[in-house]
Amino acid sequence: MNKNTNYSVPGFLGSAVSAGLKKNGEKDLALIFSQRPAIATGVFTTNTVKAAPVILTQKNIKRGFLRGIIINTGYANACTGEQGLKDALLTANLSAAQLEIKAEEMAVASTGVIGSYLPVDLIKSALPSLIKNLSPNGFYSVADAIRTTDSFPKISYSQGHTNGKKYSILGLAKGAGMIMPNMATMLSFVLTDINIDIESLLPIFRSAAENTFNRITVDGDTSTNDMVLIMANGFAGNKIPEGKELKEFESNLRETMGNLSYMIAKDGEGATKAIIIELNGATSQKEATIAARTVANSPLVKTAVFGQDPNWGRIMAALGRSGITMKESMVQIWIEGVKIVEGGLMVGKDEEIEAAERMKKKDITITINLNQGSCKERITTCDLTYDYIKINAGYRS
Amino acid sequence: MNKNTNYSVPGFLGSAVSAGLKKNGEKDLALIFSQRPAIATGVFTTNTVKAAPVILTQKNIKRGFLRGIIINTGYANACTGEQGLKDALLTANLSAAQLEIKAEEMAVASTGVIGSYLPVDLIKSALPSLIKNLSPNGFYSVADAIRTTDSFPKISYSQGHTNGKKYSILGLAKGAGMIMPNMATMLSFVLTDINIDIESLLPIFRSAAENTFNRITVDGDTSTNDMVLIMANGFAGNKIPEGKELKEFESNLRETMGNLSYMIAKDGEGATKAIIIELNGATSQKEATIAARTVANSPLVKTAVFGQDPNWGRIMAALGRSGITMKESMVQIWIEGVKIVEGGLMVGKDEEIEAAERMKKKDITITINLNQGSCKERITTCDLTYDYIKINAGYRS
């Protein structure tokens, strides 16, 4: 995440400007453009209340191709009805016209305050300079512009080889609050020049999203605007990967998306620590997920971690109310590798003191074994702090 | 809730002392005693992880009678295994012996930190003075002693007449965090001298609990120790109420329990405001409850209320992720009687300014109409503030 690093992917251009959407004059409008049509797919919010850009992008991406993505901050363009849909469409139309592509080849993403109409005039005025600035090195600027309450831009970059050709994967993301693992949980854009077909890309992308972005939580709230899009433009010129080659690409893709989702949890609004909940020994996958999420979303567990208190009673209580199959006397809990609960009971004061000491770290892993079955889950979250309140009590004012 | 008010109920005695369980030397051990066996029933936590006193009291109350309740703070006696059960039983045995009643006639309730063993020796030493202090006017002292993070003692007192005889209802409660409407959600003890049979009392008490204590939420966490007990000792000497007379008693009982549950929500850890979510127009009772609870537990909604921001977009987003049947374009929302959303869209800036002004009040009602059906729900919660973090990040230290 260095401003001066070259995060380029052959065939992709990026750009960002200040269009006057953010009150503080920061960059707030970004554009991603592929020099030729790219294979594309996405995952979207499961919230019944979907923002206009989500509805439009879901429609456009059905064709399996995209050329560009325009992203604005400041306005979510959610809960804006017919006018909102018109505004999202107009944004796509205006940018497609100037890029000399079809409007259906554009994706639109928005993030910001819900319920206010998108000032399309401001976007229209900013478009010429946005397009003029398009550059292979414009992606740090894109990651920077799409931030809202994020404290740092989120970028993950990697390279690999497939069938003898080098390819790159660039992942960009934003999202720090209203994050809940229930389908796409913020904005993220993954760009790669690998040559791949949609039939191969779709399942590995969905599975990667399920195991990365859908395994983080900040506050249990799911946004109306979440989307994760991937574009693959084939500039690498490789033979389409299969078997082991495809597996390798999948592994790189998942790592990129895993890095981004970890950054989002770590940058949870007001967070001082990332918390990794490792849940083992559940009787079913569903119960493993419910149990891990209940612990991850418990305000009492999250404040205890903020206070560096190995308060395992709150973990037990969260497990108990999750409604899963468990036997209190079978539960084991470790904090940062120190076993503090055995057979549902405290191990000892010394272990708690050692665990408290280790909780001074920035990443805290809480490992739970229910000893009821063989299913497991892993969810990443963050602590709950004074600054979460500060950010969210004052966000609109 | 005045120290000097006489909250007495004929035939009941109360007492509280400091047994050294709370570090600060405050009263921490309380006793309620009925001068003759009282009809009794209760509702208990739905958490799979149940504290030892919950297990013991659930067993003892099956007989339908109680003489006494002993309550300690400082130690939850939860996640304490076999030793915890022995300690709860010993507490019942020791107090029963000194009160000259049977151990099965005692209920035991505990609240405090999970996972530490109950110091029964301290309780044993304090018992003689606890019993010596028993008095018809001891109930303010009981309400005071059972507090943990509560900022005030919670008492509701009323009187009524049935079949020409006067009766009293006294309700005591504690609970400020780890509150979630899912069966009994904190400690509460309701004492009445009405003469009633268990067959009549059971359904009206359960229904009252369902509509009061189970309709509040502070942080979505359900404790391991929650219980609500009622004792009716018959000292009023009335003919057992039926029909209209029974209805009147039910109404008084529900008001007492409603007052207590409102006090608990209002005294949510760190809260500055009570929030009442009124949800109308759902297609089923289940969906009405899910929708109202999702809004009530949303950290983003709760922080917005703390910030006195009529941020209806967060309410829409919470409704949307709750998974209920809704049509965005049908939703109406009012804050303190000011309509701010019509047809899923913002009504206007003036209305938001007016709503923000009214949000300076201490009790904020958010009314939602989904316009999808005729089912409704009402949940009381509180705002999420800096002090919630402060209290919970430092509770054990």
Chain A positions in Cβ-Cβ contact with residue B55 (cut-off 8 Å): none
Question: What is the rounded average pLDDT for all residues in chain B?
Answer: 90
d(CA B343, nearest CA chain A) in Å: 9
Chain A positions in Cβ-Cβ contact with residue B317 (cut-off 8 Å): 47, 49, 78, 114, 178, 221-224
Is A185 designated active site?
A: yes
* Chain A, nearest residue to B303 by Cα: A393
Q: Same structural domain for residues B52 and B185?
A: yes
**Is B314–A114 a contact, with Cβ atoms under 8 angstroms apart?**
yes
The pLDDT value given to residue B176: 65
Chain B CB within 8 Å of residue A222 CB: yes
Owner of token pair 């693959």: A232
The pLDDT value given to residue A221: 62
What span, in angstroms and rounded, lies between the C-alpha atoms of B121 and B110? 15
- For residue A2, is it within any domain? no
Chain B positions in Cβ-Cβ contact with residue A388 (cut-off 8 Å): 299, 303, 389
- For residue A235, is it within any domain? yes
d(CA B81, nearest CA chain A) in Å: 7
**Is A219–B299 a contact, with Cβ atoms under 8 angstroms apart?**
yes
pLDDT tens sequence across B27-67: 999 999 999 999 999 999 888 889 999 999 999 999 999 99
Q: Same structural domain for residues A180 and A61?
A: yes
The pLDDT value given to residue B148: 81
Selected catalytic residue, list A80, A91, A185, A256: A185
- For residue B1, is it within any domain? no
Quick one: average pLDDT of A172-188? Answer: 62
Chain B positions in Cβ-Cβ contact with residue A316 (cut-off 8 Å): 49, 78-79, 114-115, 224
| Final residue in a domain of this structure, among A250, A266, A282 | A266
Q: Which of A79, A220, A326 sits opposite B345 (nearest CB)?
A: A79
Selected catalytic residue, list B111, B148, B185, B381: B185
CATH number for position A169: 3.60.70.12
Closest CA to B224 of A312, A347, A381, A280: A312
Percent of chain B scoring above 90 in pLDDT: 73
**Is A81–B178 a contact, with Cβ atoms under 8 angstroms apart?**
no
Q: What is the DSSP string of B322-379?
A: TT----GGG-EEEETTEEEEETTEE--HHHHHHHHHHTTSSEEEEEEE--SSSEEEEE
**Is B321–A116 a contact, with Cβ atoms under 8 angstroms apart?**
no
The pLDDT value given to residue A299: 85
As given in the structure block, the two tokens for residue B362 are 């201490």
* φ, ψ for residue A385, nearest 5 deg: -130, 175
| Final residue in a domain of this structure, among B266, B297, B314 | B266
Chain A CB within 8 Å of residue B319 CB: yes
As given in the structure block, the two tokens for residue A133 are 């600035």
Chain B positions in Cβ-Cβ contact with residue A384 (cut-off 8 Å): 389
Cα distances (angstroms) measured from residue B1 to each of B148, B157, B208: 17, 9, 22
**Is B299–A115 a contact, with Cβ atoms under 8 angstroms apart?**
no
- For residue A3, is it within any domain? no
**Is B312–A115 a contact, with Cβ atoms under 8 angstroms apart?**
yes
Chain B CB within 8 Å of residue A397 CB: yes
d(CA A18, nearest CA chain B) in Å: 25
Q: Which of A80, A306, A313 sits opposite B115 (nearest CB)?
A: A313
- For residue B90, is it within any domain? yes
Q: Same structural domain for residues B253 and B216?
A: yes
As given in the structure block, the two tokens for residue B259 are 């007052």
The number of folded domains in chain B is 2
**Is B49–A298 a contact, with Cβ atoms under 8 angstroms apart?**
no
Burial A220-253 (b: 16+ CB within 10 A, else e): bbbbbbbbbbbbbbbbbebeebeeebbeebbebb
Q: Same structural domain for residues A229 and A320?
A: no
pLDDT tens sequence across B158-190: 999 999 999 999 999 998 655 443 322 489 999
As given in the structure block, the two tokens for residue B295 are 């809004």
The pLDDT value given to residue B182: 34
**Is A321–B393 a contact, with Cβ atoms under 8 angstroms apart?**
no
Chain B CB within 8 Å of residue A249 CB: no
Q: Same structural domain for residues A284 and A257?
A: no
Q: Same structural domain for residues A49 and A145?
A: yes
CA dihedral A272, A278, A283, A287 (to 10 degrees): 20
Those of residues 107-146 in A touching chain B at CB distance below 8 A are: 113-116
**Is A319–B48 a contact, with Cβ atoms under 8 angstroms apart?**
yes
d(CA B235, nearest CA chain A) in Å: 39
Quick one: average pLDDT of A252-281? Answer: 90
Q: List the single range of A116-130, B83-97, B146-160 with lowest mean pLDDT.
A: B146-160
Those of residues 160-189 in B touching chain A at CB distance below 8 A are: 177-178, 180, 182
Chain A positions in Cβ-Cβ contact with residue B116 (cut-off 8 Å): 346
d(CA B386, nearest CA chain A) in Å: 5
Q: Is the pLDDT of residue B373 over 90?
A: yes
Q: Is the pLDDT of residue B395 over 70?
A: no
Q: Is the pLDDT of residue A298 over 60?
A: yes
CA angle A285/A289/A290 to nearest 5° reads 115
CATH number for position A358: 3.10.20.340
**Is A178–B79 a contact, with Cβ atoms under 8 angstroms apart?**
no
pLDDT tens sequence across A214-255: 888 766 666 788 899 999 999 999 999 999 999 999 999 999
Compute CA A101 distance to the chain's CA centroid, rounded to the nearest angstrom: 28
Interface test with B, best of A148, A303, A384 (most B CBs within 10 A): A303
The pLDDT value given to residue A180: 44
Quick one: average pLDDT of A358-381? Answer: 94
Chain B CB within 8 Å of residue A311 CB: yes
Percent of chain A scoring above 70 in pLDDT: 94
Q: Residue B204: which domain range?
A: 12-266
d(CA B111, nearest CA chain A) in Å: 12
Three-class SS of residue B15? Answer: strand
d(CA A386, nearest CA chain B) in Å: 5
Compute CA B30 distance to the chain's CA centroid, rounded to the nearest angstrom: 17
Closest CA to B340 of A85, A116, A392: A116
Q: Same structural domain for residues B55 and B89?
A: yes
Q: Is the pLDDT of residue A48 over 60?
A: yes
Q: Is the pLDDT of residue A3 over 90?
A: no
Chain A CB within 8 Å of residue B370 CB: no
Q: Is the pLDDT of residue A181 over 50?
A: no
**Is A344–B81 a contact, with Cβ atoms under 8 angstroms apart?**
yes
Q: Same structural domain for residues A243 and A172?
A: yes
Q: Is the pLDDT of residue B261 over 50?
A: yes
- For residue A38, is it within any domain? yes
Quick one: average pLDDT of B341-367? Answer: 95
Interface test with B, best of A148, A275, A322, A389 (most B CBs within 10 A): A389
d(CA A237, nearest CA chain B) in Å: 42
Chain A CB within 8 Å of residue B342 CB: no
| Final residue in a domain of this structure, among B266, B296, B326 | B266
Cα distances (angstroms) measured from residue B156 to each of A337, B4, B6, B169, B192: 48, 14, 12, 8, 12
As given in the structure block, the two tokens for residue B332 are 């109406």
Q: Same structural domain for residues B209 and B116?
A: yes
- For residue B3, is it within any domain? no
Interface test with A, best of B45, B47, B275 (most A CBs within 10 A): B47
DSSP code at position A223: -
d(CA A117, nearest CA chain B) in Å: 10
The pLDDT value given to residue B266: 83
Q: Same structural domain for residues A111 and A204?
A: yes
Q: List the single range of A172-176, A321-325, B213-217, B309-313 with lowest mean pLDDT.
A: B213-217
Quick one: average pLDDT of A66-75? Answer: 95
Closest CA to A89 of A47, A50, A130, A60: A60
Q: Same structural domain for residues A159 and A256?
A: yes
CA dihedral A13, A16, A21, A23 (to 10 degrees): 160
User: Phi/psi class of residue A371: alpha, beta or left (left: φ > 0; alpha: ψ in -120 to 50)?
Assistant: left
Q: Which of A300, A324, A397 sits opposite B309 (nearest CB)?
A: A397
Closest CA to A29 of A191, A152, A142: A142
**Is A79–B299 a contact, with Cβ atoms under 8 angstroms apart?**
no
Quick one: average pLDDT of B349-357? Answer: 95
Question: What is the rounded average pLDDT for all residues in chain A?
Answer: 90
Q: Could you tell me how many CB contacts below 8 A there are between chain A and chain B?
A: 213
Q: Same structural domain for residues A169 and A297?
A: no
Chain A positions in Cβ-Cβ contact with residue B343 (cut-off 8 Å): 81
CA dihedral B124, B126, B127, B131 (to 10 degrees): 180
**Is A221–B300 a contact, with Cβ atoms under 8 angstroms apart?**
yes
The pLDDT value given to residue B389: 78
**Cβ pair A63, A108 in contact under 8 A:** no
The pLDDT value given to residue B221: 62
Chain B positions in Cβ-Cβ contact with residue A393 (cut-off 8 Å): 303-304, 306-307, 309, 385
Percent of chain A scoring above 90 in pLDDT: 73
Chain B CB within 8 Å of residue A326 CB: yes
The pLDDT value given to residue A394: 63
Quick one: average pLDDT of B226-254? Answer: 95
- For residue B7, is it within any domain? no
Chain B positions in Cβ-Cβ contact with residue A389 (cut-off 8 Å): 303, 306, 384-386, 388-389
